[in-house]
Structure 1
Amino acid sequence: MIVTKATNTFLPTPTVVRGNSRASIHQAREATRAFTDQLSPAPDPNLADTLVLVVSELVTNAVRHGGGRYTLELTAGPDAVRVAVSDPSPLPPRERTPDLNGGTGGFGWHMIRRLAANVAITPGPGQGKTVHAALLC
């Protein structure tokens, strides 16, 4: 826990979640909701919902396309909430045309890039990558 005196803001310690299955995606969403519930002042409910959606899409992409496992790290600062999702695949996310009829997806990466104020991809850990997203408070 960190309390900044200048802004009287409570910033929880980073939250880390590891998962390796579709079932763990729910765990990541729950951990994200618990993380936002600890922030003080409380974020706008729309921001909290958007953060849960971004996390859900990032960890789903990691499970489906990034090697089947992920590490999620959530951090907060006075002006932004940050998400980092690492997976073992070195391949960056790619845009594809959303499947409007077959239900095979294609919406996630578009949503992430639209909802986050900043998105970046860095190499590592190991041979994998980390996708970073920031949402402004």
Structure 2
Amino acid sequence: MPRDALWTRDLTLESQATSAAQARRFVRQHLGSHQLGALADDVELVASELATNAMQHAGTPFHLRLEAFDDTLRLTVSDGSTLGPVHLAAEPLDTSGRGLEIVSLLSRSWGYLEDGDGKSVWAEFDPARASEEGRPPPRREARSDQ
């Protein structure tokens, strides 16, 4: 059963050079106005990565949506391409190919949905982090050689 959002904010952008910066400002403005500023750095970076992917791979106008629920903040970027995102394994000297790895590291979960007109890539964040002091340490993978 779908649940109702506490609030929703939407923005549609053209596929142009200034759009990633506009996406970052949109995120920072709305998270700040809803006392979720502690999440702004992570959500802003994910928004920038997803906006850049939409511009590079779809080349269509794209739509950003922020939705807040009791236990989740969801960012969704929708574009006009039906091709799903590809999680690459970038080499150390590669200058691109790390976007979805960044999304995976900074969000609680992420995924995508296809529809007849394109796709929507979403990432979810924990709003409880916004009330904690400081930033939690980054998630690390356990190593078996230690």
> What TM-score do the two structures reach when normalised by structure 2?
0.75
Whole-angstrom CA distance in 2 between matches of 1:74 and 1:38? 13
How many residue pairs get matched?
122
User: Following superposition of structure 1 onto structure 2, how do residues 88-107 of structure 1 map, counting pairs within 5 Å?
Assistant: 88-103=80-95, 105-107=96-98
Contact kept in structure 2, 1:12 and 1:38, CA below 8 Å:
no
- Structure 2 residue 21 is the aligned partner of structure 1 residue 26: yes
Q: Which has the higher strand share?
A: 1
Secondary structure of 2:77's match? Answer: strand
2:137 corresponds in structure 1 to none
Contact kept in structure 1, 2:28 and 2:37, CA below 8 Å:
no
**Which of residues 131, 134, 137 in structure 1 aligns to 2:121?**
131
1:133 partner letter: A
Sequence identity of aligned pairs in percent? 32
**Which of residues 47, 57, 63 in structure 2 aligns to 1:71?**
63
2:102 corresponds in structure 1 to 111
1:131 partner letter: V
C-alpha change, 1:131 and 1:82, in structure 2 (3 Å) is same
2:57 partner letter: H
Q: CA deviation at 1:99?
A: 4.4
Q: CA deviation at 1:119?
A: 1.1
- Superimposed CA distance per residue, residues 62-114 of structure 1 (whole angstroms, 9 cap, x where no aligned partner): 001123431111111222211110111111110222243252x0110111122
CA RMSD of aligned residues (A): 1.7
Give structure 1 stretches of 5+ with no counterpart.
1-10
> What TM-score do the two structures reach when normalised by structure 1?
0.79
Give structure 2 stretches of 5+ with no counterpart.
1-5, 128-146
Contact kept in structure 1, 2:7 and 2:69, CA below 8 Å:
no
